[in-house]
Amino acid sequence: MSITSFNPPVRTLMGPGPSDVHPRVTGAMARPCIGHLDPAFVDMMDEVKQMLQYAFQTKNQLTIPVSAPGSAGMETTFMNLLERGDKAVVCQNGVFGGRMKENVERCGASPIMVEDDWGKPVDPQKVEDALKANPDAKLLAFVHAETSTGARSDAETLSRIAHDHDALVLVDAVTSLGGNELRVDDWEIDAVYAGSQKCLSCTPGLSPVSFSERAIEVITTRNSKVQSWFLDTNLIMGYWGPNAKRAYHHTAPVNALYALHESLVMLQDEGLENAWARHDNNHLALRAGLEAMGLSFIVAEDYRLPQLNSVTIPQGIDEASVRSRLLNEFNLEIGAGLGALAGKVWRIGLMGYSSRAENIVLCLSALEAVLADMGAEINTGVALPAAYAKLNM
Amino acid sequence: MSITSFNPPVRTLMGPGPSDVHPRVTGAMARPCIGHLDPAFVDMMDEVKQMLQYAFQTKNQLTIPVSAPGSAGMETTFMNLLERGDKAVVCQNGVFGGRMKENVERCGASPIMVEDDWGKPVDPQKVEDALKANPDAKLLAFVHAETSTGARSDAETLSRIAHDHDALVLVDAVTSLGGNELRVDDWEIDAVYAGSQKCLSCTPGLSPVSFSERAIEVITTRNSKVQSWFLDTNLIMGYWGPNAKRAYHHTAPVNALYALHESLVMLQDEGLENAWARHDNNHLALRAGLEAMGLSFIVAEDYRLPQLNSVTIPQGIDEASVRSRLLNEFNLEIGAGLGALAGKVWRIGLMGYSSRAENIVLCLSALEAVLADMGAEINTGVALPAAYAKLNM
């Protein structure tokens, strides 16, 4: 065996995440490791919490990054809030609602499923009906921005309905945090988790979470222990919490937190609303180009995510070959369809640092070149001018 | 709010971990992020698995890094092997046996505790007795290298006893992997977890684990689902497994894995046995210096870990002040006592890249200077020559 250092190819990441990581963020990650109880590190943790509160638009004290990817953030919310025998209403309109169902079941609780078509938002009426039929439901869980389809659900309305029925609100904001409007306090969300590798332009591996006072009340008065020691917020708060003694719980992923800190400084400097607007504007440019080419979106305009564009594949074209050629010829990654949409769509991400003019023109040019070469029935020569016109508006 | 980029102080890390991270490793971490399904990334994953097999001295196919710190690696082993109602014999001779007990209980299983004094190894006779008294115990769990005390237990003997009683063997190798002899196949260990941030000289955040065929048989024939979706090896193997389709499970912590890859390349180039010998030799040098100074070890020589040195504190000296001064005046981190040993010992780590001559002389000089200034009763002027003599043997 003689393995040598790994030097990755330099890609442009326009899939469903990870998105392009800004060199400032990878640069921060490479800074010297220090101890997880070092006073300098503890000060940095406080800044991370403060900037996450800003990103989530919340004053929640329990607003921290879980030391693992978004799936662990999901488990953190479910495992801390649910106990065996509880009931939870779970909305499914894509892959991640299904993962929520798994989470509920593995907590020994019962999921009441509210199903909507993939590519559609969660239907508030169905949620209302489900909560009416299950007055003992402890929480409502749904995905704000479905990464598998590109549909946005109305988190504010769904949250209001849940509270009207005295249920907690648990929201997946993995793809929405930093990319589109999300107001945890105004919308009265009780538990929310996100990912570092989407609209925050950070490396994958951390999951920001936030819990409301109401949620903390539920967690601290549980009858049974949280079934994960690693994800038990009662213990984690000894390390991350306000006025905490910074007691050792687990060894924090020090360098990954440097990266998250830097990405949050960049978000703060840009301004949250400006970041939302950038995602919107760049989406309009990409959309103008793709539609000019003849591709269409599977999600209706009203609830289409700007950062995750699910588009149809031209008739007779092998979608996997297109993605391979984009990767091999242009170092450009776009996403495949997932679950029910596998083979049916491409998912083009415009998340975080990936959401910029140079990526849009690269994507449109490369896609047009490859599709034209493969004999696809598309309009050529019109995508770039259409996109460029929107970029300059 | 206006928070600026975080520039950590440059420390020398001689605590219980994280240890010093080699610049090659942080450099690797800063390489451009690529997709977790990118063919180039998938090839790198195969190399990581191969090098972890070497580090663990195993042919186990299920040898992978869990995408979270060592505590999550611990949960991965317990949650996958245990079901509600199971019984497990857990050895406790320090902090981490207690954490194992918590893991067993949170799986809905019953821990049978085998207790030994902190600083002592696990007593094989007590294990034998516990297994005899509990013939239905599903597994025996113990810590190979107790980071909280610096004691090494005889993993080979304990494993043999467990198999004689038809129990699986689950081992915490967080601090031993790469630092002292560990032979997963020869010793017939069924499940083992480690940490990236100790003797591998990598950044914290990943937990290498390995499962034997016998353990996999138990996992794949469970009656109930693993209570964590994120840590369910049945699912993770779809992404990491041999001949896997590389199905998306969770987004891998891409850049953290670059770092682990680089640290494993360095281990491979040094040679595993050479790394073990380096830890041993440098321990002897540090020990000679500390003993010359008048400090003593709390763990007996026969089962003392070379990479984690628990030493007594001179009479009348406030141990926390010493650590603060070392940090503030010399940027040197050494560890405090943990749990039952809090306030009673210092834990001086010589793990991975921290285990080198320059760290030993820095530590001895700085400690001597500070202790002398505080009026401690120590021998001065003798530690360095004593250590240097050993370094040159």
Contacts of B18 in chain A (CB under 8 A): 33-36, 251, 254
Q: What is the pLDDT of residue B32?
A: 98
Tens of pLDDT along B10-27? 999 999 999 999 999 999
For helices A213-220 and A70-81, angle between their N-to-C axes, nearest 10 degrees: 60
- Percentage, residues of chain A above pLDDT 70: 99
Q: Is the confidence at residue A383, as pLDDT, over 90?
A: yes
Contacts of A2 in chain B (CB under 8 A): 268
Q: What is the pLDDT of residue B58?
A: 98
Q: Is the confidence at residue A303, as pLDDT, over 70?
A: yes
Tens of pLDDT along B78-124? 999 999 999 999 999 999 999 999 999 999 999 999 999 999 999 99
Q: B307 CA to chain A: closest CA distance, Å?
A: 17
Q: What is the pLDDT of residue B279?
A: 98
A–B CB contacts, 8 A cutoff, strictly below? 270
Q: Is the confidence at residue B258, as pLDDT, over 70?
A: yes
Q: What is the pLDDT of residue A1?
A: 66
CA distances A291 to A237, A288, B128, B134, Å, are 49, 5, 72, 69
Contacts of A102 in chain B (CB under 8 A): 229
Q: What is the pLDDT of residue B27?
A: 98
Q: B364 CA to chain A: closest CA distance, Å?
A: 20
Average pLDDT, integer, range B181-210? 98
Q: What is the pLDDT of residue A27?
A: 98
Q: Which of A138-147, A241-250, B247-256 has the lowest mean pLDDT?
A: A241-250
Q: Out of A30, A205, A229, whose CB is closest to B256?
A: A205
Instruction: Check B38 against A103: CB less than 8 A apart.
Output: no
Q: Mutation target for A interface from B2, B6, B80, B147: give the one with most A CBs within 10 A.
A: B6
Residue bearing tokens 């609303």? A273
Q: What is the pLDDT of residue B283?
A: 98
Q: How far apart are CA B47 and CA B255, in angstroms?
A: 15
Instruction: Check A67 against B99: CB less than 8 A apart.
Output: no
Structural domains in chain A, CATH included, are: 23-269 (3.40.640.10), 272-391 (3.90.1150.10)
- Percentage, residues of chain B above pLDDT 90: 96
Q: Out of A32, A72, A230, whose CB is closest to B11?
A: A32
Global pTM reads 0.98
Contacts of A5 in chain B (CB under 8 A): 24, 28, 261-262, 265
Q: Out of B7, B230, B254, whose CB is closest to A204?
A: B254
Q: Mutation target for B interface from A58, A198, A230, A231: give the one with most B CBs within 10 A.
A: A230
Q: What is the pLDDT of residue A246?
A: 78
What are the beta bridge partners of residue B87? B110
Average pLDDT, integer, range A293-302? 97
Q: Is the confidence at residue A232, as pLDDT, over 90?
A: yes
pLDDT averaged over every residue in chain A: 97
- ipTM entry: 0.97
Q: Mutation target for A interface from B3, B38, B267, B332: give the one with most A CBs within 10 A.
A: B3
Average pLDDT, integer, range B262-286? 98
Contacts of A332 in chain B (CB under 8 A): none
Query: What tokens appear for A113 in the block?
Result: 């499923």
Contacts of A11 in chain B (CB under 8 A): 32, 34-35, 38
Q: A204 CA to chain B: closest CA distance, Å?
A: 5
Q: Cα angle at A65 between A62 and A66, to 5 degrees?
A: 100
Instruction: Check B20 against A33: CB less than 8 A apart.
Output: yes
Contacts of B20 in chain A (CB under 8 A): 33
Q: Out of B47, B70, B250, whose CB is closest to A251?
A: B70
Q: B389 CA to chain A: closest CA distance, Å?
A: 30
| Chain B residue at shortest CA distance from A41 | B8
Q: Mutation target for B interface from A3, A95, A104, A174: give the one with most B CBs within 10 A.
A: A3
Residue B245: band (very low, low, confident or very high) from pLDDT cuts 50, 70, 90? confident
Q: Which of A43-57, B159-173, B237-251 has the lowest mean pLDDT?
A: B237-251
Q: Out of B18, B252, B259, whose CB is closest to A35?
A: B18
Average pLDDT, integer, range A19-29? 98
Q: Is the confidence at residue A243, as pLDDT, over 70?
A: no
Q: A54 CA to chain B: closest CA distance, Å?
A: 9
Query: What tokens appear for B84 in the block?
Result: 């509600």
Average pLDDT, integer, range A127-144? 98
Q: How far apart are CA B136 and CA B165, in angstroms?
A: 9
